[in-house]
């Protein structure tokens, strides 16, 4: 009689406590934890593929070693979110739905687990490596061009990939603990690097403004000191070309630094809940765990702690996976050249699919006024058209060097005995260049 009463009381207690634990909110977070990667897998792969494509374009690929690290980051972000999705989907279909998965074998699970954690570790340590790369470039600006080369950056990435794969092979059963510790170390390292990068971007803006002021003063002095038209044109042309190259390089470096700063800040911000969660575990200890405990022995406070822990863990996991999606938008906001390449490629794709007429391309890219069918997207240096009055009219062709985005192009001016052209170039709307020709009869 007593045993029957005890069994009925135990069943009632189990049902009531189970009902209090598995509330609608708890069930929603449990479903969200199992399926949220379905919402992130598509945008994550697409946007990181776009990042990998744009960062591989010639206008960006050879500008800085940071671009190489960003390409490695985009590649391993694709692998990380793909392997995370496969693992989560296998767990959901096998545990929650009760389906039999033929891939659910010990060898496949271990290989998947090691590959996933290795890709996550490589992606995180790539951020640290390119932050350190930029810090060295700032601390030693004169030696950075010798120390920080594309070949050494590529070798560093290869060594990091091999080492992290070997480390994860050694810690198969402790991979979750290893990744958690890695995240805390990376957070502490990135906080220090962010301060350096913020100061670096400020120094670049200050030096850029001072260089602009110095260049304006030097141009004015040269115009006053050189009375000859030929000397003034050639001196100003050389000065302007060199200044444009340096200004373009400074702008590109500043944009790459802002892109790196945005990625580092996103890692730190999205890792804040993970840090808070770790501190909470240190405070509450084993009371936060409900595993291997009977519902009868759980108090109301312990159940509340378990729910809070579970909710925070789900939110933490979602935030840690958001950088796979938001990095592309951070690049677009921080890098003007990244954004312009993306827009130009989209326009070119629309033209290839005949969604935009061909004439739209000339309005988008711009053509040379001297020859509309020649090189597109060319900006002309300011005083490149100044010519000496002693130039012989019997010359058939003259080569004029023009400058666009730090690259040299060659435009051929055909002249016959009829006329002699003097080019006067000026800017229009900040980007477009206009050419005004003044001809005189010989």
Q: Would the pLDDT of 342 be above 50?
A: yes
242 and 143 in one domain?
yes
Residue 258 vs residue 373, higher pLDDT: 258
Q: Would the pLDDT of 143 be above 70?
A: yes
Least confident of 167-181, 233-247, 339-353: 167-181
pLDDT of residue 423: 43
Whether residue 341 is contained in a domain is answered as no
- Give the residue among 266, 305, 318, 248 at the shortest CA–CA distance from 131: 266
375 and 323 in one domain?
no
Q: Residue 167 in contact with residue 79, Cβ under 8 Å?
A: no
Spatial distance between the Cα atoms of 55 and 252, rounded to a whole number of angstroms: 13
Whether residue 117 is contained in a domain is answered as yes
433 and 327 in one domain?
no
Whether residue 363 is contained in a domain is answered as no
Question: What is the per-residue pLDDT across 29-51, written as a single tens digit (0 to 9) for each?
Answer: 888 888 899 999 999 999 999 99
pLDDT of residue 428: 44
Whether residue 2 is contained in a domain is answered as no
Question: What is the per-residue pLDDT across 410-439, written as a single tens digit (0 to 9) for each?
Answer: 443 344 344 444 444 444 444 444 434 444
Q: What is the CATH number of the domain that holds 91?
A: 1.20.1070.10
411 and 308 in one domain?
no
Identify the band that residue 161 occupies on the pLDDT scale cut at 50, 70 and 90: very high
- Give the residue among 64, 212, 244, 246 at the shortest CA–CA distance from 138: 64
Domain end, chosen from 334, 354, 382, is at: 334
Whether residue 4 is contained in a domain is answered as no
Least confident of 111-125, 258-272, 278-292, 384-398: 384-398
Domain end, chosen from 334, 350, 381, is at: 334
Whether residue 340 is contained in a domain is answered as no
308 and 381 in one domain?
no
Query: What pTM does this model have?
Result: 0.64
Least confident of 81-95, 112-126, 246-260, 302-316: 246-260
Range of the domain at 24: 9-334
| 192: exposed, middle or buried (Cβ count in 10 Å: 0-12, 13-18, 19+) | exposed
325 and 383 in one domain?
no
58 and 127 in one domain?
yes
Whether residue 39 is contained in a domain is answered as yes
386 and 315 in one domain?
no
Question: What is the per-residue pLDDT across 238-271, written as a single tens digit (0 to 9) for each?
Answer: 557 777 767 777 777 777 778 888 888 888 888 7
Least confident of 16-20, 111-115, 345-349: 16-20
Residue-averaged pLDDT of the chain: 68
Question: What is the per-residue pLDDT across 359-368, written as a single tens digit (0 to 9) for each?
Answer: 544 444 444 4
Least confident of 236-240, 297-301, 409-413: 409-413
210 and 107 in one domain?
yes
pLDDT of residue 173: 58
Mean pLDDT of 372-382: 41
320 and 389 in one domain?
no
377 and 229 in one domain?
no
Residue 46 vs residue 18, higher pLDDT: 46
Residue 52: CB atoms within 10 A of its CB come to 17
Tokens of 307: 């729910």
Q: Would the pLDDT of 61 be above 90?
A: no
Whether residue 1 is contained in a domain is answered as no
429 and 319 in one domain?
no
Q: Would the pLDDT of 158 be above 90?
A: yes
Domain count, the chain: 2
| Helix (H) or strand (E) segment spanning residue 183 | helix 175-225
Identify the band that residue 311 occupies on the pLDDT scale cut at 50, 70 and 90: confident
Domain end, chosen from 334, 357, 383, is at: 334
């Amino acid at each position: 009689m007593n045993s029957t009463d005890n069994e009925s009381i135990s069943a009632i207690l189990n049902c009531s406590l189970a009902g209090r634990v598995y509330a609608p909110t708890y069930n929603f977070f449990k479903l969200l934890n199992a399926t949220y990667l379905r919402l992130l897998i598509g945008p994550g792969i697409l946007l990181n593929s776009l990042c990998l494509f744009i960062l591989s374009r010639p206008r960006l690929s050879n500008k800085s070693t940071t671009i190489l690290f960003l390409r490695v980051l985009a590649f391993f972000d694709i692998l990380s979110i793909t392997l995370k999705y496969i693992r989560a989907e296998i767990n959901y279909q096998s545990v929650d739905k009760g389906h039999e998965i033929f891939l659910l074998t010990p060898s496949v699970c271990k290989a998947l687990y090691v590959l996933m954690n290795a890709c996550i570790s490589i992606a995180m340590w790539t951020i640290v490596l390119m932050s350190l790369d930029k810090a060295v470039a700032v601390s030693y600006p004169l030696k950075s061009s010798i120390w920080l080369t594309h070949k050494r950056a590529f070798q560093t990435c290869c060594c990091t990939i091999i080492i992290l794969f070997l480390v994860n092979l050694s810690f198969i059963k402790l991979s979750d603990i290893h990744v958690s510790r890695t995240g805390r170390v990376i957070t502490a390292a990135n906080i220090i690097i962010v301060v350096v990068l913020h100061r670096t971007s400020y120094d670049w803006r200050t030096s850029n403004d001072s260089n602009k002021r110095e260049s304006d003063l030097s141009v004015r002095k040269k115009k006053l000191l050189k009375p000859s038209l030929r000397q003034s044109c050639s001196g100003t042309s050389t000065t302007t070309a060199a200044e444009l190259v340096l200004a373009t390089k400074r702008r590109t470096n500043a944009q790459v630094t802002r892109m790196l700063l945005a990625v580092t800040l996103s890692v730190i911000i999205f890792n804040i809940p993970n840090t808070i969660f770790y501190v909470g575990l240190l405070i509450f200890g084993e009371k936060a765990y409900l595993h291997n405990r009977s519902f009868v022995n759980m108090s109301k406070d312990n159940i509340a702690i378990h729910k809070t822990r579970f909710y925070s863990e789900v939110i933490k996991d979602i935030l840690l996976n958001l950088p796979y999606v938001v990095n592309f938008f951070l690049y677009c906001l921080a890098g003007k050249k990244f954004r312009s390449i993306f827009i130009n490629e989209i326009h070119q794709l629309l033209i290839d699919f005949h969604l935009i007429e061909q004439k739209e391309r000339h309005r988008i890219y711009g053509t040379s006024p001297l020859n509309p069918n020649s090189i597109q997207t060319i900006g002309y240096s300011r005083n490149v058209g100044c010519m000496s009055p002693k130039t012989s009219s019997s010359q058939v062709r003259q080569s004029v060097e023009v400058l666009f985005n730090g690259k040299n192009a060659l435009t051929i001016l055909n002249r016959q005995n009829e006329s002699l052209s003097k080019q006067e170039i000026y800017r229009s709307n900040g980007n477009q260049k206009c050419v005004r020709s003044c001809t005189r009869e010989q």
